[in-house]
Amino acid sequence: MSTTSTTSALSAPGAPGALAPAPRPVLAGIPAYVPKPPAPPAEGPSHRLFLNENPYPPLPSVRETIARAAAQTNHYPTIHPERLMDALARRLDVPPGHLVTGPGSVGIYQQIGQAMLEPGDEVVYAWPSFEAYPIVARMAGAVPVEVPLVDGVHDLDAMAAAITPRTRAVFLCEPNNPTGTAVGTAELKRFLDRVPGDVLVVLDEAYFEFSRSPNASDGVELHHDRPNLLTLRTFSKAYGLAGLRVGYGVAQPAIAGALRKCAVPCGVGRIAEEAALTALRVRAELFERVERIVAERERTREALLGLGWEVLPSEANFLWLPAGEASESVAEEWERRGLLVRAFPRSGLRVTVGSPEVNDLLITAAAQTAPPSR
């Protein structure tokens, strides 16, 4: 019997008076993530410089681990990736109970929303910053409070002043995505001292390993005497495992335990866990690549500055070009040359640091494009 013949007119989709399950009203105000990716040219190679990915493919040792773990995918992983948590605890010199993991650090943001935010709570963060922040806040029914960056840098005084009795959390991206700037440990500590103890501070250190400032902050170190601090890091960037989705957070047990309760069970898969364990073991080799990326960041920035482009100093694996109104047209021009960068309309261009060859292509494109007049 066909299903159509047994479906009553009232329950047929689109029928007059049909009932339909309604998504939560807060979803109406949430933009669908992610913005349109840049379009590769019809011909010739193209280079992904729009997601702050690591340009280097996994090391052979990591690939072997992945292949081995692939043979066991009929088995569930453990609820939490306990072996990885133990390895991280040893590396970071923190008790395992201070750790939380997720499918990428964006996964942990969802846990923050579930564990820490109530409808109507305020969440303070800088803008522009990581694009997930308004989504996480809104999804929880919380109220985003955006504090403009000043010259691409967090305005910590204004952020402290934006905290009210309704503030439940502050999200602080250090170094900041998309501008690459960092406030440094002295400023950060001064800010943390001003945040009330019942306000959670999420210190997003996704790009921590690329920072070379002598004043760089280290949230793991800071968390020992700050019960309201949660530091997030990821295997996606420096460790080059973006495709496998492993992120982690460090906080004192009350916060870490609450977040673990909200984790998707088995949310970090077996292959991801094994690959992250191997990546930790071969860290020295991986971090030679990080050094190369840092050196390329500086070389590329100097070259672009020399060509008359404005480029902010960066502590991350990307550069921010505040190209203003020209941002979209420049991005389109570079797209035609296969350089897929991220344009923020009327604001700037975020360009991931690629391999030396790709950075050379970028420098050539920049030399052949008029920089916006200042």
Q: Which of 104, 219, 249, 354 binds ligand PMP (CB under 6 A)?
A: 104
> Between residues 283 and 336, which has the closer beta carbon with respect to ligand PMP?
283
Closest CA to 100 of 317, 277, 260, 304: 260
> Between residues 135 and 366, which has the closer beta carbon with respect to ligand PMP?
135
> Between residues 132 and 323, which has the closer beta carbon with respect to ligand PMP?
132
**Residue 70 CA neighbour count, 13 Å, CB half:** 7
Look up residue 198 and give its two tokens.
Answer: 């019942």
Report how far residue 183's alpha carbon sits from residue 200's, in angstroms, rounded to the nearest whole number: 19
Q: With binding defined as CB under 6 A, does residue 348 bind ligand PMP?
A: no
> Between residues 177 and 300, which has the closer beta carbon with respect to ligand PMP?
177
Q: How far is the CB of 42 from ligand PMP (least distance, A)?
A: 28
Q: Which stretch binds ligand PMP (CB under 6 A): 103-111, 294-302, 320-328, 355-363?
A: 103-111
The SS3 call for residue 309 is coil
Report how far residue 339's alpha carbon sits from residue 369's, in angstroms, rounded to the nearest whole number: 13
Q: How far is the CB of 15 from ligand PMP (least distance, A)?
A: 41
**233: how many CB neighbours lie within 10 A of its CB?**
26
Q: Which stretch binds ligand PMP (CB under 6 A): 8-16, 99-107, 111-119, 302-310?
A: 99-107
Residue type, 289: R
Report how far residue 183's alpha carbon sits from residue 169's, in angstroms, rounded to the nearest whole number: 19
Q: Is the dihedral of CA 214, 216, 221, 225 positive or negative?
A: positive
Q: With binding defined as CB under 6 A, does residue 130 bind ligand PMP?
A: yes
Q: Which of 84, 116, 139, 206 binds ligand PMP (CB under 6 A)?
A: 206
Per CB under 6 A, which of residues 231..290 are in contact with ligand PMP? 234, 236, 242, 247
Q: What single DSSP character describes residue 104? A: S
Closest CA to 48 of 37, 60, 59, 63: 37
Rg (CA), the chain: 22
Q: Which of 111, 177, 179, 181 binds ligand PMP (CB under 6 A)?
A: 177
Q: What single DSSP character describes residue 248? A: E
Report how far residue 192's alpha carbon sits from residue 195's, in angstroms, rounded to the nearest whole number: 5
Report how far residue 313's alpha carbon sits from residue 316's, in angstroms, rounded to the nearest whole number: 9
Q: Which of 84, 106, 263, 361 binds ligand PMP (CB under 6 A)?
A: 106
Q: With binding defined as CB under 6 A, does residue 171 bind ligand PMP?
A: no
Q: How far is the CB of 354 from ligand PMP (least distance, A)?
A: 16
Asked if 49 and 339 touch (Cβ cutoff 8 Å), the reply is yes
Q: With binding defined as CB under 6 A, does residue 204 bind ligand PMP?
A: yes
Q: With binding defined as CB under 6 A, does residue 152 bind ligand PMP?
A: no
> Between residues 318 and 334, which has the closer beta carbon with respect to ligand PMP?
318
> Between residues 234 and 300, which has the closer beta carbon with respect to ligand PMP?
234
Binding mask 305-324 for ligand PMP (x = CB under 6 A): --------------------
Report how far residue 3's alpha carbon sits from residue 219's, in angstroms, rounded to the nearest whole number: 58
- What's the gap between Cα 303 and its chain centre? 27
Q: How far is the CB of 245 from ligand PMP (least distance, A)?
A: 7
Q: How far is the CB of 172 from ligand PMP (least distance, A)?
A: 10
Q: How far is the CB of 10 from ligand PMP (least distance, A)?
A: 43
Q: Which stretch binds ligand PMP (CB under 6 A): 102-110, 159-167, 192-200, 209-217?
A: 102-110
Q: Which of 105, 211, 252, 359 binds ligand PMP (CB under 6 A)?
A: 105
Helix axes 283-306, 356-367, angle to 10 degrees: 10
Q: How far is the CB of 52 from ligand PMP (least distance, A)?
A: 5
Strand order in the sheet with 122-127: 99-102, 247-250, 229-234, 200-204, 167-173, 122-127, 143-148
Residues at the interface with ligand PMP (CB under 6 A) = 52, 104-106, 130, 173, 177, 204, 206, 234, 236, 242, 247
